[in-house]
């Protein structure tokens, strides 16, 4: 931990660059979407639903980085608090997304959730939706469940990977207000951040620790 903190403290320019890139990855897609030619024909609920979807996708970018403590600035406690706050934010975004779509067109929304929609992406919609709901339920019941930390990690990480994968495929397959280029870049960033974190935390670090321990013995 301390080595990572000093890493960015020794390189303030790099810390600024990291936050600048993250800010651009989030704000550019939102600004592009707010200028979409399709917005004028949409009712306020539909506009809100689309925006909630984009913000939900953007929040997924920060979750692995906060969980792993990669980001320059927040210490471990603040990073953990932010991870939880964004988790709540993702749940709220998903609920606003679905609610806004339901107000816009109840039959299309129900079809999508029941997997009888004609659109080829509804299976990813449903996977992402239930992935988020189950994750939130497990977080709320974590103490009562009393799982071992290792069990929790496996389940929480598997759900996270599932949510990220299905959300990104859903986002890429639909034609909505997001611009295609900024959408692809944000989706790629979310996938890379999630995959890199999982590989580092669950494969590389345990393997290194095991090697260090065997060397010490």
Partner 1 sequence: MGSEFITRRSLVTGAAALGGMALIGEGVTGLVRPAVAAGGLRPTRTMRGGSNNYRPNAPLVDRLGSGFHVHGTVRQAGGGEPLSNVRIQIWAATTRGGEREPSNHGSVMTAADGSFVLEMDQIVPNFGQPHAHLAYDDGRFETVFLRPVMGSASDTSVRADFVLAPV
Which residue lies nearer to partner 1 by CB, 92 or 111? 111
Is there a contact between 197 and 65 (Cβ–Cβ < 8 Å)?
yes
Which residue lies nearer to partner 1 by CB, 111 or 134? 111
Q: Please state the separation of Cα 203 from the chain's center in Å.
A: 21
* CA–CA distance, 52 with 205 (Å, rounded to integer): 35
Q: Which residues bind partner 1 (CB under 8 A)?
A: 37-38, 40-43, 46, 101, 104-105, 107-108, 111-112, 115-121, 123, 169, 173-176
Which residue lies nearer to partner 1 by CB, 112 or 186? 112
* Residue 176: CB minimum distance to partner 1, A: 6
* Residue 183: CB minimum distance to partner 1, A: 12
**Sequence-ordered list of residues with C-beta below 8 angstroms from that of 2, at least 6 positions apart, any chain:** none
* Residue 98: CB minimum distance to partner 1, A: 12
Which residue lies nearer to partner 1 by CB, 58 or 169? 169
Is there a contact between 52 and 93 (Cβ–Cβ < 8 Å)?
yes
The helices-and-strands tally (H runs, E runs) of the chain is 10, 0
Which residue lies nearer to partner 1 by CB, 24 or 173? 173
* Residue 41: CB minimum distance to partner 1, A: 5
User: Which tokens belong to 193?
Assistant: 């951040």
* Residue 128: CB minimum distance to partner 1, A: 13
Is there a contact between 82 and 61 (Cβ–Cβ < 8 Å)?
no
* Residue 157: CB minimum distance to partner 1, A: 22
HEC sequence for 166-214: HHHHHHHHCCCCCCHHHHHHHHHHHHHHHHHHHHHHHHHHHHHHHHHHH
Which residue lies nearer to partner 1 by CB, 155 or 174? 174
């Amino acid at each position: 931990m301390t080595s990572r903190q000093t890493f960015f403290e020794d390189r303030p320019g790099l810390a600024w660059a990291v936050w600048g890139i993250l800010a651009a990855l989030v704000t550019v897609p939102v600004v592009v979407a707010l200028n979409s030619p399709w917005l004028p024909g949409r009712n306020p609920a539909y506009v809100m639903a689309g925006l909630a979807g984009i913000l939900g996708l953007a929040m997924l970018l920060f979750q692995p980085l906060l969980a792993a403590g990669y980001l320059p600035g927040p210490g471990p406690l603040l990073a953990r608090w932010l991870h939880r706050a964004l988790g709540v934010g993702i749940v709220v975004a998903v609920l606003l997304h679905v609610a806004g779509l339901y107000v816009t067109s109840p039959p299309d929304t129900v079809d999508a959730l029941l997997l009888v929609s004609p659109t080829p992406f509804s299976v990813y919609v449903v996977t992402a939706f239930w992935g988020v709901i189950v994750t939130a339920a497990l977080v709320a019941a974590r103490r009562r469940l009393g799982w071992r930390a290792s069990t929790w990690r496996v389940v929480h990480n598997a759900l996270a990977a599932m949510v990220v994968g299905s959300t990104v495929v859903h986002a890429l397959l639909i034609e909505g207000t997001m611009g295609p280029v900024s959408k692809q870049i944000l989706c790629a960033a979310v996938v890379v951040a999630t995959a890199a974190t999982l590989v580092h935390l669950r494969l590389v670090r345990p393997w290194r620790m095991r090697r260090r321990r065997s060397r010490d013995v």
